């Protein structure tokens, strides 16, 4: 039944208008912007591909990239297993107080990145910080003046991010675990399967789609790390740029030095990185599914 169907367009109007103006237009414009050099938003000069050429050999950019990759790897290989572990613990049938535990573990993710950064800055202090003092108490050889935010910035950020996000990812894993059919598990138990076997061959494959989703989300978020580092290092990249991340470099060049063109080119390189990661991840998952 074809009638003059304007209702859907009215419903979509806000989305379409704002999307065109504030997403599509800037997206197209950024392609041109990345080929310019600017001094503030009002003063631009055309430079062609010079930004990208410079980017390829820009040591600061590569430092930012290596830092970001280190952080993403830390998140991937530490945070996700911890989240999964917590979910497995909480998934125990008949566990009392599950709701309370879940709330406690989830609470840090409500704090918000800028506030987590402010909260953790004194924890990482040398000599007087909570972390150094605690580690020193349990392991007497731990140097009490361990310089987290000067020398081991990415490690400190991984720890802070672990605290903040483990609970968040745990919730996803928990939902996935609770969707695993009890019949499958019981069948395995009847067959005499041990806990590890149950986990590896039944649970893990069942939650693979969610795990894949959570992983992708986590890696993409890690690659866009900015606030945690910037605020914890006092609005800077830290000594020797040890805390410099890709988005922080984008922010510094675009909004502290005023070159929005270069910032745009960094943005494009970041986008390409993220799309590649998403594609690779999809490949890996597909191959796993086919097995």
Residues 77-136, interacting with another protein (CB under 8 A): 86, 89-90, 92, 95, 101, 103-108, 110-115, 118-123, 125-128, 130, 133
Q: Which stretch binds another protein (CB under 8 A): 68-76, 197-205, 245-253, 280-288?
A: 245-253
In the window 251-280, what residues touch another protein (CB under 8 A)?
Answer: 251, 254-258, 260-261, 263-264, 267-268, 270-271, 274-275, 278
In contact, 211 and 173? CB cutoff 8 Å? yes
| 241 is an interface residue for another protein by CB under 8 A | yes
Q: What is the sign of the dihedral through the CA atoms of 154, 156, 161 and 166?
A: positive
**What angle do the packed helices 98-106 and 80-90 form, to 10 degrees?**
160
- When binding is defined by CB under 8 A, the residue of 156, 161, 176, 233 that contacts another protein is 176
Least distance from C-beta 230 to another protein, angstroms? 8
Query: At closest approach, how far in Å is the CB of 47 from another protein?
Result: 7
| Spatial distance between the Cα atoms of 197 and 257, rounded to a whole number of angstroms | 56
23 makes contact with another protein (CB under 8 A) = yes
Those residues with Cβ within 8 angstroms of residue 252's Cβ, 6 or more apart along the chain or in another chain: 237
Segment near another protein (CB under 8 A); pick from 13-21, 68-76, 198-206, 281-289: 13-21
Distance CA 206, CA 180 (A): 6
Instruction: Please report whether residue 64 would count as binding another protein according to CB under 8 A.
Output: no
CA pair distance 94, 52, nearest whole angstrom: 57
CB closer to another protein out of 71 and 172: 172
Angle, in degrees to the nearest 10, between helices 153-178 and 204-223: 150
Nearer to another protein, 202 or 269 (CB): 269
CB of 175 to another protein, least distance (A): 4
Burial of 52 (0-12, 13-18, 19+ CB in 10 A): middle
- Verify binding: residue 62, another protein, rule CB under 8 A: no
Scan residues 185-224 and list those touching another protein (CB under 8 A): 209-210, 213-214, 220, 224
* Rounded Cα–Cα distance for residues 257 and 107 (Å): 37
Min. distance of Cβ 183 from another protein in angstroms? 18
């Amino acid at each position: 039944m074809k009638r003059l169907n304007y209702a859907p367009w009215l419903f979509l109007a806000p989305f379409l208008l704002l999307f065109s103006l504030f997403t599509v237009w800037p997206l197209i414009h950024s392609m041109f912007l990345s080929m310019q050099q600017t001094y503030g938003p009002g003063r631009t000069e055309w430079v062609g591909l010079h930004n990208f050429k410079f980017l390829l050999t820009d040591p600061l950019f590569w430092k930012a990239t290596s830092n970001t990759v280190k952080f993403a790897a830390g998140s991937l290989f530490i945070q996700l297993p911890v989240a999964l572990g917590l979910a497995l613990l909480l998934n125990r049938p008949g566990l009392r107080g599950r709701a309370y535990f879940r709330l406690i573990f989830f609470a840090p993710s409500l704090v918000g990145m800028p506030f987590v950064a402010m909260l953790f800055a004194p924890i990482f202090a040398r000599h007087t910080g909570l972390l150094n003092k605690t580690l020193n108490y349990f392991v007497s050889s731990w140097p009490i003046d361990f310089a987290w935010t000067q020398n081991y910035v990415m490690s400190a950020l991984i720890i802070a991010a672990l605290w903040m996000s483990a609970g968040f990812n745990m919730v996803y894993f928990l939902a996935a675990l609770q969707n695993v059919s009890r019949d499958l598990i019981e069948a395995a138990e009847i067959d005499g399967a041990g806990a590890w076997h149950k986990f590896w061959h039944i649970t893990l494959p069942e939650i693979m789609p969610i795990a894949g989703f959570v992983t992708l989300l986590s890696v993409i978020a890690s690659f866009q790390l900015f606030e945690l580092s910037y605020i914890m290092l006092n609005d800077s990249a830290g000594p020797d740029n040890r805390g410099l991340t890709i988005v922080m470099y984008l922010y510094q060049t675009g909004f502290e030095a005023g070159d929005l063109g270069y910032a745009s080119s960094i943005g494009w390189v970041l986008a390409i990185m993220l799309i590649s990661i998403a594609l690779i991840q999809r490949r890996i998952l597909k191959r796993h599914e086919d097995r």
